Each structure stands twice: as C-alpha cells, then as structure tokens.
A and B are shown apart, each in its own frame.
Chain A
Amino acid sequence: MKQKDFFNIQRLRVLQYAAYLAVALIAIRLTDIQFISHEKYALAAEQNRTQILYQTAPRGRILSAKGETIAGNVPSFSVYYLPGSQKVDDAYLSSLSADVASFLDVDSKKILKLLNKGTKSGKAILIAQNISPKRAFAFSELQVYYSGLYLLEETKRDYPYGAFAAHLIGYMGTMDNKFWNKKDENTDYRLNSKIGKSGIEKRYESQLKGRDGGLYLEVDYRGRVKQKLKDNKWGKGADVWTTLNLEVQKAAEKGIKNSITGRGAAVVLDAKTGAVLAMVSAPDFDPNIFISYSDEEIPSTSKKIPEYNLALQGMYPPASTFKTITAIAALENNRLDLHDHSNCKGKIFMNGREFKCWKTHGPNIDLMEGMAQSCDVYFYELALKTGSASIEKIQKLFHLGQKTGIDLPGEKSGNIYGPSKRARNRTYWFAGDTLNLSIGQGELLLTPLQMAVYGAALASKGNIYKPYYIQKVVDPQGQVLEENKPEIIARAKLEEGHYEIIHQALKGVVDRATGRAAKVEGVDVYGKTGTAQNPHGDDHGWFLAFAGLPGQEPDIALSVFVEFGKGGSSAAAPIAKEIIKAYYGVK
C-alpha cells in the first residue's frame, strides 16, 4: 500500500468546505456590522466618547403687539471644573475651593469635596449653575488664576415686567414624569430642563424652545476628559407675538391691583378684530420667582401660584350691565317707545313681593335716563312689556352662556337663564323672575371675558368675535410658523337704528350719570355699570365699556370686574377710564 493511499481526501474536502462556509458566514456578519448597521454603531461610538456640557438655548421671546419684550432671556452662568489640564495638589485644590466658595457664598468644604471627586475621577464636574452675570463677572477673574475652571454661558427666562399678564404668559418650571415620558424623541430635553408650565409658555413650548448648545468634551471609558471637541452654538427658539398692548395691560393691572380689594379681572378687546389687548386676573404671580438665579433669595411663601384665571373662569351675575340686553329685547319687539316715561318710586310690587330700585328716581324716566341712572323700575316695567322669552332670545343672539372659544384652558361658559331654560328643568317661571332677569340678577352668570366679547359685539354693531391673543409665531429666520386672523363667530343682527339707540344710551351713562368716572376728554366712551348682589359679602362691581374717537367707529371694548368692589361706578368705572386713557395715550 502506497503512502498516498492513506490520504483521506474526502475528509479534507469536507474540512475545506467547512472553512469556506465559516469564512463566508463571518464575512456576511462583518458586512452586517460594518456596512449595514454602521450608522447605529457610529452613533453609539460618538455617544461613548462625548460628554456634553449643555448650554440651554435662549427661549423664543414673548412680545407685545408692538414688539416690546414681555418674556425674554438674560445670561446665566454655570461653573465647571475640568480636571486633567493641569497638575494639582491638595494646596491648590483647597485654595481653589476657598476662593470659589467666597465668590459663591457657599460652604468651601462642599466645593472641595466636588473638586476632589473631579480630580480623582478625571470627570468634568459642575460646581455651580444658574449664576447671575454680576457674580459671574467677578468669578471670571478666578479663571485667570485657576486654569481648570470653566464658565459656561447659558440663558435663563426673564420677565422684565414681573407679574405682567401672568395668567396669559404663564410660568416655567422643571418638567414632571408625564412630560418626560410623552416628549417628542427629536427634542433635546434634559432631566433638569425647564419647561413652560402654564399659559403661552406651555401652549407654545415646542416653538419657544430652541435647540440647546453645548461644549463637547472627549472622554475616555472612565469619563476622564481628554480634550475639547467642539463648542456647539445654540439655536434660538421662535418668538411669539401676542396681541397685547403693553400700556393698556399695564393700566389695567394697575387699576385692578389698586382697587379696594385688589381682586378682579379686566379684559380689553380690539373692537374691530376681537384681539385681546389686555387681560388681567388678580391675584396673579411673578413668574420670575420660579427661575431665579441660585444666588438670589426668594421667600418660599411667594411661590404659591394662583392658577385660577378669574377673567375666564370666574362667573358672576352681570347685574345692570345686562339692562342693555333688556333694552335690545324691547326694541326688537317694538315694545320700547323712546318717549315712554316711567315714574320711579323706588320700588314696585309684583304678586305681593316688593322689588326695589337702588334709588328713587322720580318721574320722567325714559330709556336714556333709565340707562344713565340705571333705574331698575324703568327696566322692570320694560321687561314686563317685552316678556322674558324675548329677553332670553336676545341673550342667545349674543352668544351669552357659551364659551367664547379663546385658546386658553379651563374657560367657563357661564349660565343663561330664562323661561325656556326653566321649562327644560321642569320648574316654574314667575313674573318676579322676569323682573330679576331684566336687571341681570339671579341665576344669570357671565365671565369677564364673555362680558368683553359682548361689549365688542355692541361696539361693532353685531360682530361676535372669537377672542385671540396670539398674533403670530416667527422663527429666528423670520419665517412665520403660525398666524392668527380675526374670526367672527356670528353676527347679532338688530333692526336698523337699534344699535345706535343703545350706543346713545350708553354714551349718556358715561357723559352725565353713573359712568361719569370713565369719562375721557377727546374720546367717545360708551359704558354701563353693574353692581352684582352678593349674598356672601360685599357686592361686585362691573363696568362694561367701549370707546372710539369722536365720530368714528369704536376701537376697543372692555370689561372691568372688581370682586367685592361694592359698586360698578365707584370701583370699576375709574379703572376703565385709565385703560381707555392708556389706549389713546391721553395724559
């Protein structure tokens, strides 16, 4: 037998093919890892080696209609210690910590502990954040002596006017779990990112938030800093242009806050568009306190947030302002003769019950006088002539008892009231109810916002607007992301000349009677006071108004409500006057 006969060539072939197969499988898998899944691994490698010291991007501004900044940004600084670039010893670290501590007003032992941790691990350590520019400026001197210190500029929300339209603007705070879990994967939120918690800040969070920048450090597998890779500039957020008029808002806030109780609401609308020029709800809050510098002291008691927005969530009887509805109902039903007179003896009797007027007005009370003097007896008699059903119809014509549709959470719809509503609830309607209805008392409830929308409808002779407070959202490149146009929901059409009669009556209120406190020289002001009876305490004061330059269409419509203000003419009308003066720039 020859040697070669022992060669087992078949077995050799099997092994050869096994080797080819193994190499092919390995090659396929290598192609998978290095070619097909390359991007996934490249990203992982990049994340592995970079540590990012984030810089919060400047949030988009919130601007008034004319472009004044209501919510802006101010610089805020973070202090990092980057070890590794210099030789350190204990003496160096303790002198560094003592200096840092004296600049930051903190315990030097705490700083030393942080520094030691950083030196030992080689990782970049955050020593302090949210430092005010004043402190940071002083601090920057330290950088000259200590090369490991790194001052990172960030930005922080700032509200230059403090508690200014606070319910509308909202405030910022740290995010909760719910937000974190639901956030868009493409956004760069971090666990300590501040987000809008209410108002515009919340509603427009995605547009306002910019793209955070950061200092990219290369780190090794233990997180030790090797070098600075790049300094990514942040991208600013988009600006939100509101419809607010800075002067009007200021005047309205000042008025409400300086009223006898300091509680209430005011809504000012553009009578030609329904844009919100001002919206006040007091009590309010200063949004600055939730985002203060770490070196500022804020008493914790001031951090309570009155989230309740009285302007759209507070419901009150409209009181005498409602007499306009009664008058319109009577006009529309031809039950009102401008020459008819009532004789006000201070009260009338209905089914044995006494219904009072607030004052004995005497004889010769016609519509103009009844409106001007807010004579209850005149309207009792008018209502009895007109009938409650038609009054109820006019309420619906003006969309009372319906949400105005403003883009704000939690708006209340109010409550209208009348015989058909009663019938639906299977209770009876009495003549006395008609009397109460005619002067806006009883179960009838409106919000200050509804009142202003109603005022704008009177002013514009029937346009029921959907109020809006955002003009547009514009990104830093100037591109308009979102724009709001005036929207008329419905038209309250009255017969020819009836609006003019109401306007004349309301002008009389301001010119010579209960609304005199709202009279402004050089401006035609139309208004109606209201005093809502409050069984639980002092009465509430209302003032419904609109105003225009003489001989021109009214420009603004407004409602002022002072909680427990005792009276419309005393508490609310003077505030309306300040608002109108602010709008027209009258000194």
Chain B
Amino acid sequence: MFSRENNHSLKRGPIDFVILISVSLLALIGFAIVYSALSTSPLGQSVFRTHLIALPIAAGAFVFGWLFNYQIYDEQYKKLYMFIITLLIGVLIFGVTQRGSHSWFRFGLFSFQPSEICRIATILISASFLERNKRNIREFKTIFLLGIILLPVFGLIMLQPDFSSIVVSAPALIILLFAAGVDLYYFGLLFAFAVAAGFFPIAWTYLGLNPEIARNSFIAELILNLRVNIWYILGFSALVVLACWLVKQLLRQFRIEIPTALALIVSGAILAGFFSGLFVEKKMKPYQRKRVEAFLAPKSDPKGASYNILQAQIAMGSGGVLGKGLFSGTQSRLGFVPERHTDFILAVLGEETGLFGTLGVLLLYLLLLWRTTITATLSSDLYGYFVCMGIFGIFFTYLIINFGMLIGLVPVAGIPLPFVSYGGSNLVASMWAFGIVESVYRRRLSVV
C-alpha cells in the first residue's frame, strides 16, 4: 500500500524549504498588497500597525509549530480539547463584537479571534481521535463518536455566530475523513445530507426570486409550503421514510438486499439535511440571502450583492497581464472593490500586479498543498499523516472558496485568503499550521 516517496525520508534536513519559502513569500506579498489596498483609506495606518505587530507573532507561531513536537498534540489531545472549549466559552462571555460576530478577544492594541486557532485545533483533535481508532475507521460508530466530540466546538462557534469558520472547517474535516480511508458509503450519506441541506434553502430562495413559477407549479407550491406549514413538514418526513422503504423493496425485486437499518439511515440523512436546511433558512441574514440570490441570478441586481463580484472581476480584468502597479489600482483605491484588504484581496492583487501576481499566488498555494501531501506520505506516524491531510483540507478549502468566489464559481462567503488577506489571527493560525507541517517533516525519520 505504501510506496516510498522518492528518497526524501533518507535526506537529512530539519525543514522543507519549499514550504518555508512559499509561506514567507505569500506573507510578504500579502503585506505589500494590504498596505497598497489601504494606502488611501483612513484605516490604512492602524491596519498597517496591526499587521506589523502580527508578522513577528506569526513568524514565532511558525517557529513554535516547527520546533514543538507535533506528537505532543496527540498525547495531550484532551487538554487541547478543553483549551479550545474554554477559549470559545470565554469569547462568548468576555469577547467583543466586530463585524456582526461576537468572536473577538480584545487586548489593548490588537484583538484576537480564537475561532482561527480552533480551526487548526479541531483538525489536530480529529486526527488524534482517528489515529486512536484506526482499526475501526470503517465503522459508523467511529464517525458518529467524532461527530459527538466536535459538536460542542461547532455549536459554540455557531453561537458567535461565525459561519465562515464552519464553511472552512466542515469541508476540511470531510477531506480528512476521506484521506483517513472512511468508507465511501458514509460520503454517500453525507452527500444525501448535503444535497437535502443545500437544495431546500436554494429552492426557496430561487422560488422567492421567481414567484411566477410558484404560482404555476404544484410542486413549487408544495416546496414553498414546506417552509412554513408543520403538517407539510410531517407529511414530507413520512414520505421520505416511505420512499426509502419502497426503494429497498424495489431493489429486493432485483435481488439486491439492503438492511432495513440502512434504508432508515438514508432517510434519516435526508431528513437531517432537510431540517438543517430549514434551520439555515430561518437563521439566514438578509445579506447572506442576497449573496445566494446574487449567485443564482448574477444579473438581476447589478448594484446589489453581485455588484461586489462584478467590481472585483473588473478590478482583476483591468489589471491585465502586468497589472497597474502597486498603489495604482483605481478599482481598489477608489473603493469600488468591497472588503478590499480581506475577502477581496485577490481583486487588488489582480488589479495591481496582474495575471503574474494572481498566478504567482496560485502557484505558491499549489506548492504549499503539494508539499503538505508529500510531507503526509513522509510522516513517521499515522497521526502526522492525518494532521497533514487535515491541514491540506483547510487550505484547499480556502483556495477553492476564495479564488472560486472571485471567478464566480461559488457564492460570496466572506472567507479571507490566508497569508495574503489582512487579519492577524488568521495569519498567526495559518503560520502555526504550516509550522506543524514542518514539524511532521522534521520528525519524519524518528522511529516510533
């Protein structure tokens, strides 16, 4: 099953220079772009100062992650778990609200967002749990227990609420489970859940945008009623269970036996998805609904939510191949690009440094992801493998969402681009994460 990846493991060397250089370059590019993006803004000076403080801390986090033996996280995973639960409870009590989320600790000069650290810690804890249950990894019980363990973490984050944390952590966790070798069957269930959870809010939003369809279609009206009427909901639940049982009976005619429990679990997954969707629908804030609407119908509202995407694309496109030069982007300097130092930093990068800049950052990210998977294969233990794949999952998700949002692939999710976007907590956490990868690399030769 295992094949030696080249002969890296035989080479002595305490650090992977590709990761080190990529991370350093990204942080430098980020620093320059954030400074350029905000040079004309009144925010500029304070952001610059905070960034200056965050950079050495982040460098420290990297060195810490690298020198600190990652296996200790595995040994002390209960303490780590208690630590992040305490942090998350603490932020709910002592934290302050910024940008609509009650998720910040405030310390004089700067503030700190614990959910950034929790994102990494969640992966460390999950890896630890999976490693301990490596022999039962194909069993449902294992995944179920992992869900139970992580539920408080996600619940506390939802209370802030910090949806963007969930948006990154959940796919990262799925990628980790996939890499850990969890049965594809569970991914089928998860897929059923996700489809149900995604389908209903999108369908409701879409029908809200196009009321004439709802008027003319019986099914559309039924779907709309599912949102409000308790009897419809109960009827729908019964229908789903019945449908699953009927499918089971039908398959039996073809001599494909399916355990009743499985049919029940499938219907349970669909229903769980539906209720999650209902929950999201009820909790969705107007601006979030606007984003979904803008994604479904980008042309419907040129001055609204899709306006942001359009302006970001204009910024990137107008940069061309060579860019307009640092401090010279009109789209960003004049405020057409929203959130230009955080979520839409790529638009500024594209405008000022052109295709070279965006492809350069993309390439650095690709190098990071590639080296992380290589490090995973080199790991001296299974825990290191899981940790690397979890971190790979996090940054792969970041990459897809942040780039994808700009090119119209996914809805606007308010996710920063690590290393490049402004955000001290994110920078520190990201540096720490790759420090951990380096730590796995450093200890690849140790005997377990």
Contacts and interface: CB of A to CB of B under 8 A. Distances in A.
Interface stretch (B76-84, B145-153, B282-290, B327-335): B327-335
B359 A19 contact: no
Interface in A104-144: none
Contacts of A48: 311, 314, 330-331, 334, 336
Nearest to B351: A45
B335 A34 contact: no
A8 B179 contact: yes
Given A5-B2, A16-B373, A49 B330 contact: yes
A488 interface: no
A30 interface: yes
A145 interface: no
Which secondary structure dominates chain A's binding surface? helix
Interface stretch (A21-29, A163-171, A525-533, A555-563): A21-29
Given A3-B381, A30-B358, A38 B318 contact: yes
Contacts of A30: 316, 350, 355, 358-359, 362, 403, 407
Contacts of A35: 320-321, 355
B369 A19 contact: yes
Contacts of A49: 330-331, 334, 336
Interface in B340-360: 350-351, 354-355, 358-359
Given A9-B377, A33-B317, A45 B1 contact: no
A8 to B, nearest CB: 4
Contact of A22 (B313, B376, B400): B400
B404 interface: yes
Nearest to B336: A221
Most B-side CB within 10 Å, residue of A23, A45, A49, A226: A45
A220 B335 contact: yes
A426 interface: no
A5 to B, nearest CB: 6
Interface in B363-388: 365-366, 369-370, 373, 376-377, 379-382, 385
B109 interface: no
Contact of A3 (B316, B376, B382, B407): B382
Contacts of A6: 134, 137, 181, 382, 385
A428 interface: no
A21 to B, nearest CB: 11
A37 interface: yes
Contacts, number: 149
Given A45-B315, A222-B335, A26 B403 contact: yes
Contact of A19 (B178, B366, B448): B366
Contacts of B330: 45, 48-49, 218
B179 A11 contact: yes
A12 B389 contact: yes
Contact of B321 (A26, A34, A222): A34
A29 B134 CA distance: 40
Nearest to B3: A9
A41 B335 contact: no
Given A12-B377, A48-B330, A226-B334, A27 B316 contact: no
Interface of A: 3-9, 11-12, 14-16, 18-20, 22-23, 26-27, 29-31, 33-35, 37-38, 40-42, 44-46, 48-49, 218-222, 226
9 contacts: A7-B385, A15-B175, A23-B366, A26-B399, A26-B404, A33-B316, A34-B316, A38-B318, A49-B334
Instruction: Enumerate the 8 nearest inter-chain pairs by beta-carbon distance, A residue then B residue, closest first.
Output: A41-B317, A45-B318, A8-B181, A220-B334, A221-B335, A34-B355, A29-B407, A42-B318
Interface of B: 1-3, 134, 137, 175, 178-181, 311, 313-321, 330-331, 334-336, 350-351, 354-355, 358-359, 362, 365-366, 369-370, 373, 376-377, 379-382, 385, 389, 392, 396, 399-400, 403-404, 407, 409, 448
